[in-house]
Amino acid sequence: MQQLAVRRLVSRSLLLASVFVLGSGCSDSRGPLRRFLLDPGHRHEILQESLLSRENDYATLRLARYGSMDSQDWLRLPEFLPATIEVSAADQSHGMTQAAWSVIDVSLPAADEDEPSEQALREALRQIGKTAFFRYPAQLVSGFEAIRRDPLRAAEYGLWQGRTPTHQQQLGGLLDVKLPDGSVGIATSCSTCHAAAVSGEVIPGATNSALDMGKLAIDSGQQAEGPPLAWGRGRLDTSDDGVDNPAAIPDLRVVAMQRALHHNATLHSNLLALAVRIETLLITTYRQGVRPPPSLALGLAVYLWSLSGELPPEQSSENQSVGASLFAQHCAHCHLPPHYSGDPVPLAVIGTDPALGISRERGTGWYRTPSLRSAKLRQQFLHHGVLPSVAAVLDPQRLLHSYRDGNHGPGPVRGHLYGLTISASERAALTAFVETL
């Protein structure tokens, strides 16, 4: 796979300096959040328990390097917490923004202030995560310079524009970043992929289904070899397996409602497993040279976990009783209420394109069962995002070679056969019910 270029952040001398001294662990009497922050060995245990398979490259690398307590332990890397500035559309014609540089405050209440519920600690972490979602550089990239020179091109690549929950006007979650060598880079944040703007207000966690990073890579000359990146809008290939197998950018508002992380169910889902996933993702993104502060990684997990509480409530519809009965018959064995998600499903059972599920990078032989909460607001369905709506998923015409309504070109969309054999009126009722969830 051709990845977006990532600039080297630190020199070898910096990597050898500022070594993080590992703690010796802490008492189990600590709450789970505090223990995650203070006990590296416990974080390794969380990783071990969360992995669905230990046979893929994703698992092998992390088991060897995360919390390993040896000289190669990622937790010995220097922390990366740079000064940043949000890039806004209003600043684009002037080049570099004139706002003040600032560093995210990752300080937390003292450990001896914890109450049994850890509620104060959780809220402090949530606030860190809320800020970091828009202000921490998730990946340093090239190619966005042309957008800065011509702000009208932002829409061409699907960058949202709007006011974030941190009350900032921002362009696509982009950041100016002060690097350790004194230079300034440009970066994406979590919100670049995982936010959308509606009427000028940014919805954190929602899929940026317009984002076209493959086109940006081609247009900016970053893809020097191989066929064009046929990712299309709303998809990314994040598996370093040498195969072009893009997947839909997930809706993170339902992450707390799902039983697995990643489309191919690489990890069993819980709050602390998500924190490990975020921490190790940032470490590998930065070429295993630096790491985020633990409170920032955990804060992002706590913040994302809280987004399910901001979903619109389930709605009623005229066809609800009929649709609910059809859902119970055809869908609920996988998408179980109240979250309408479930356990991972073997590739042979779901029958969709297996390429991602067998990838040596993250493949497990399974795909996760996504939550259907707020499905009406999505524009990508199945793990590779090839269908644009609930109605399209239930349309038997999509199995034909003549099908032309997929998101990524003509041709059949096979697999996930549930609900395809019922009548047109029943499919309409089932669609209406799912769109109320």
Are the C-beta atoms of 29 and 14 separated by less than 8 Å?
no
Residue reference for tokens 């399209």: 392
Confidence band of 22 (pLDDT split at 50, 70, 90): very low
Beta bridge partners of 260: 268
For the segment 66-82, the average pLDDT, to the nearest whole number, is 94
- Whole-angstrom Cα distance, residue 198 to residue 191? 14
For the segment 9-17, the average pLDDT, to the nearest whole number, is 33
Q: What is the pLDDT of residues 310-345, one digit of tens each?
A: 898 887 655 578 999 999 999 999 999 999 999 999
Against a cut of 0.85, is the pTM above it? yes
Are the C-beta atoms of 304 and 195 separated by less than 8 Å?
no
Q: According to the model, what pLDDT value does residue 332 have?
A: 95
Q: What is the pLDDT of residues 79-103, one digit of tens each?
A: 999 999 998 865 544 444 456 899 9
Nearest of 213, 126, 198, 124 to residue 164 by alpha carbon? 198
Confidence band of 24 (pLDDT split at 50, 70, 90): very low
Q: What is the pLDDT of residues 344-396, one digit of tens each?
A: 999 999 999 999 999 999 999 999 999 999 999 899 999 999 999 999 999 99
Beta strands in 258-325 (DSSP E): 260-261, 267-268
Q: According to the model, what pLDDT value does residue 60 have?
A: 97
Ramachandran quadrant class, 419 (left: phi over 0; alpha: psi -120 to 50; beta: rest): left
Q: Where in the chain is the domain with CATH 1.10.760.10?
A: 320-434
Is the domain covering 320-434 a CATH 1.10.443.10 domain?
A: no
